[in-house]
Amino acid sequence: MSEIWSPAKKFGTWRRLWLALAQAEKEMGLDITDEQLKEMKSHLDDINFEYAEKLEKKFRHDVMSHVHAFGEQCPKAKPIIHLGATSCFVADNTDVIQIKEALILIKQRLLQLIDCMEAFAKKHRAMPTLGFTHYQPAQLVTVGKRCCLWLQDFVMDAKDIIRIIDELPMRGAKGTTGTQASYLSLFNGDRAKVRKLDQRVCELLGFKTVRFLSFYTLESHLEQQRQKHTNRFFP
């Protein structure tokens, strides 16, 4: 768990987000080369922290310091790192990725606990123990039955965690202030490509869904709904 929330994991995820964004932008038609992507892939984890720290003192901006630090290691890819993005692209998406990975780890450990408790309950299914009601001695139950009461709660927790992991949406690529205007500019106003870019970045990072809204994306979301529900909700 400590590894998931470590600085190395955080800033390594930033670089993977920049790589996914560049790859998606290339697929959508921007002039990004395979050589640039390869260069970025070769420096995902060898983060130059000391150089980034020096730049942060200069820029007073954590994201820009790491954009330039990554660019120092990837001179050919430097012009397309963070292209069209805003700070929340790496900051918020990284939070979501770390939360998801932490939940996956909790799920794995919880399922291991459930297996152990199941074996314990079966082993002691016939062992009698005193039951209680209102803290008073009552009828006999079994150790196995009592264990199943605890086990039942853990099974419910596991189901909730599995559902959250499966449904957790990514923030996606929403551009500065969340309007996606920067991406619209890159793609000459092609809204379809901007929506595909958003979804593609999500897919590359292992997410099924992306959030509709991020700050000022309400207008874009409503437009999607109008197209989807023409003459139904928006006559």
Reported confidence tier of residue 227, pLDDT bands at 50, 70, 90: low
pLDDT score at 14: 97
pLDDT score at 177: 74
Alpha-carbon distance of 22 to 197, in angstroms, equals 10
Alpha-carbon distance of 131 to 175, in angstroms, equals 60
HSE-CB for 16 with a 13 A CA cutoff: 16
Burial label, 16 (beta-carbon count in 10 A; 0-12, 13-18, 19+): buried
pLDDT score at 235: 43
Q: Quick check: pTM over 0.75? A: yes
**Which of 20-24, 58-62, 187-191, 194-198 has the highest average model confidence (pLDDT)?**
20-24
β-bridge pairing 128-133 and 136-142: antiparallel
pLDDT score at 214: 62
Give percent of the chain above pLDDT 70: 90
Alpha-carbon distance of 50 to 52, in angstroms, equals 5
* Contacts of 61-67 spanning 24+ positions with Cβ under 8 A: 61/87, 63/14, 63/87, 63/90, 63/91, 66/11, 66/14, 66/90, 67/18
Q: What is the mean pLDDT of the chain?
A: 90
pLDDT score at 132: 87
35, 15, 47: which is closest to 76 by C-alpha? Answer: 35
Phi, psi of 139 (to 5 degrees): -70, 160
DSSP 50-86: HHHHHHHHHHS-HHHHHHHHHHHH-TTTGGGTTTT--
Reported confidence tier of residue 234, pLDDT bands at 50, 70, 90: very low
